[in-house]
A and B are shown apart, each in its own frame.
Chain A
């Protein structure tokens, strides 16, 4: 049985009269990587702040490893590593000193562990430099380093790939996958960059206007979002419309998108061939996560 690491129950947050969160519920098992996505102003960062005790909860509960974040703060937060908003570090100190400050506050972190983590995030050549001399990408890596230093059970990362180059993004992804697999960390990642989450999250949670729109496994999510589209490559796309009576869009001179059930595809092809239409190829259109997301949220309206 997998253990539940994070459980949010009907989380609400008001700023004055405005409702920022209108009852957010989440569940995260060990080893899960949850992509927490939503448009700007949907309440992602607020949810993360409530989870890590940085803001007071109007109503609802957050349990981390079974401890209530409000009543059992120290025990709950002990299991959390986090970057909120941006990796805010002490600029006037070296990266290593920053990590040492964090290490001092936990019992199980020694020098060896620091060195190990520094290597893991690939900062070993620059770790003695002042953070003010770091690039944004290096700060991001250091931010991840300080978050995972004490082997937390739950890692909450607010846009961790911000400012990283494609190589860096790939490395971070590999790293996070490894952490989830080997250390059984539960990881919650908020991001705008949906393409990134595509390949490496196993769960996805969409938030819009302070409400969870959908929580699901990423594969189910993508399957659900399928809308049976096929792309046909033909000699002349303009003539197709008069031949078939399925819903269709003409994409280019040679390409059309046809909305059709899978079982009906052979029938369509047969008919086209009978009518002497040259068909070069027919393929299923792949719906990206981004399209699925836009379809789900339909764009965000900031209330």
Chain B
């Protein structure tokens, strides 16, 4: 039977389409890496506000009259937007200044315009104007001025809320607000402590931004009373990400930096799984049908091997092809990623956050890739077997290729619909079960009453059904007269 498998592999390798597919894989991997790097570079060089936007706002402002009570609200709004734009167009979108302008100066500007045109309160205006001038001065080189100021404000608010809580210690709203403020204070302290400016110019700043965003989202869910299953899994996802960024900030590391060779490599299976699926489906889908349609199956069936053995060796050849394809893709990513981003990051481990133990776990990158591959294996095996079974049953290659691809593309959709409508029975279908990575690092499965053992059993049942159908049809099949 080894010789049968070897023959099948020789046949696959001899085909022209194999070379074409290898070239496509090469192009895709190079393209992905180059575009990924270029994309990161381009996004940093533009300002959020363009000159044409500024002149548009100026035109808009001319048409409004500050003394007309009907216009004054719009006037204040447009004027504030214009002031912000004028100030912001000097800085790139990712600079800390742009971030600070949005967060701290924009509210002050609208306050100024409010006092100036709407309330006409000279005294307050002067006070706010002074604050504004100080801020603009600090904008040239002192982001810490804003952080310290923010910290002061947060402290004041916390004190206030604490006082309120003394009188009304059952109020959930206040407690939640207090929790949020304390978290924001923690973020600012961390920022000052680690000397990480606002904006997203460096990876550190991005990590800070992402940490704050994911943790805020997580807190939002955590404060809610009743949350659904998929919200829970989303919430856990936020917690994992937030903790991973926090780990990088606290330890001066760049594990989550997407523009490194290490990061692209560790995510390569997820990134390129579509290609692996395509390859396996194309190979499996023509495996039987092509030999029948071209008549070469006769060459094979008159050899001293049982039909079951012939069929099984073909299926095994499909799996070996899938394995080789995956290895090829990982190897290509390893080399190309290294050339694009530099090889040094390959010596780093992979860092993950384990939800069950609430701790950071580190893993060797290749051990991690192996683990992910094993978790995704049911997808590849089941999709491949489906294409193979359809090829055997229908002897129609286009059908055997198209159907599994649509099935794979639609699987996410099926899961999403099932979860949102609460169709619990769909857990007996393959699509919620075939991605075992949902169980990794304490992750919550699609339906709460699913387990690894359950998922593997379901996948195995579908696999055996498809296999038995193929074997029975193949054994019974007559070679028709041409």
Q: Given A46, A84, A104, A106, which contacts B298 in the complex, CB threshold below 8 Å?
A: A84
Q: Which of A28-58 contact B (CB under 8 A)?
A: 45-46, 49, 52-56
Chain B hits for A80, CB < 8 A:
302
Chain B contacts to A: CB under 8 angstroms: 3-4, 6-7, 10-11, 14-16, 294-296, 298-299, 301-306, 476, 478-479, 481-482
B330 to chain A, nearest CB (A): 28
User: Would A85 and B304 be within 8 Å (CB), given that A93-B14, A97-B10, A97-B14 are in contact?
Assistant: no
Interface residues on A, range: 20 to 34
User: Would A85 and B306 be within 8 Å (CB), given that A92-B15, A93-B11, A105-B3 are in contact?
Assistant: no
Q: Which residue of B lies closest to A43 (CB)?
A: B481
Q: Given B6, B14, B295, which contacts A86 in the complex, CB threshold below 8 Å?
A: B295
B19 to chain A, nearest CB (A): 11
Total A-B pairs, Cβ < 8 A: 73
Is the beta-carbon distance between B295 and A101 smaller than 8 angstroms? no
User: Would A46 and B481 be within 8 Å (CB), given that A73-B306, A75-B304 are in contact?
Assistant: yes
Question: A146 interface residue, CB < 8 Å from B?
Answer: yes
Q: How far is the CA of A97 from the CA of B305 in the complex (A)?
A: 20
Is the beta-carbon distance between B301 and A54 smaller than 8 angstroms? yes
Q: Which residue of B lies closest to A152 (CB)?
A: B302
Chain B hits for A101, CB < 8 A:
7, 10-11
Q: How far is the CA of A24 from the CA of B111 in the complex (A)?
A: 104
Chain A hits for B304, CB < 8 A:
74-75, 77-78, 105-106
Can you identify 20 A-B contacts, CB atoms within 8 angstroms?
A46-B481, A49-B478, A52-B302, A55-B479, A74-B304, A78-B304, A82-B302, A85-B481, A86-B295, A90-B299, A91-B294, A92-B14, A97-B14, A101-B7, A101-B10, A104-B6, A105-B3, A105-B305, A106-B304, A146-B299
Q: How far is the CA of A66 from the CA of B44 in the complex (A)?
A: 81
Q: How far is the CA of A49 from the CA of B481 in the complex (A)?
A: 9
Is the beta-carbon distance between A90 and B14 smaller than 8 angstroms? yes
Q: Which residue of A lies closest to B10 (CB)?
A: A101
Chain A contacts to B: CB under 8 angstroms: 45-46, 49, 52-56, 73-75, 77-78, 80, 82, 84-86, 88-93, 97, 101-102, 104-106, 146
User: Would A49 and B479 be within 8 Å (CB), given that A84-B298, A90-B11, A105-B7 are in contact?
Assistant: yes
Q: Given B6, B301, B306, B476, which contacts A56 in the complex, CB threshold below 8 Å?
A: B476
| Other 10 A-B pairs with CB < 8 A, given A101-B11, A105-B304 | A45-B481, A53-B302, A84-B479, A88-B299, A93-B14, A97-B10, A102-B303, A105-B7, A106-B303, A106-B304
Chain B hits for A78, CB < 8 A:
304
Q: Tell me if A's interface is mostly helix, strand, loop or mixed.
A: loop
Chain B hits for A146, CB < 8 A:
299
Is the beta-carbon distance between A105 and B4 smaller than 8 angstroms? yes
Most chain B Cβ neighbours within 10 Å, of A46, A55, A88, A92 = A88
A228 to chain B, nearest CB (A): 41
Is the beta-carbon distance between B296 and A85 smaller than 8 angstroms? no
Chain B hits for A77, CB < 8 A:
302-304
Chain A hits for B299, CB < 8 A:
88-90, 102, 146
User: Would A53 and B298 be within 8 Å (CB), given that A73-B306, A101-B10 are in contact?
Assistant: no
Q: Which residue of A lies closest to B299 (CB)?
A: A88
Chain B hits for A91, CB < 8 A:
294
Chain A hits for B3, CB < 8 A:
104-105
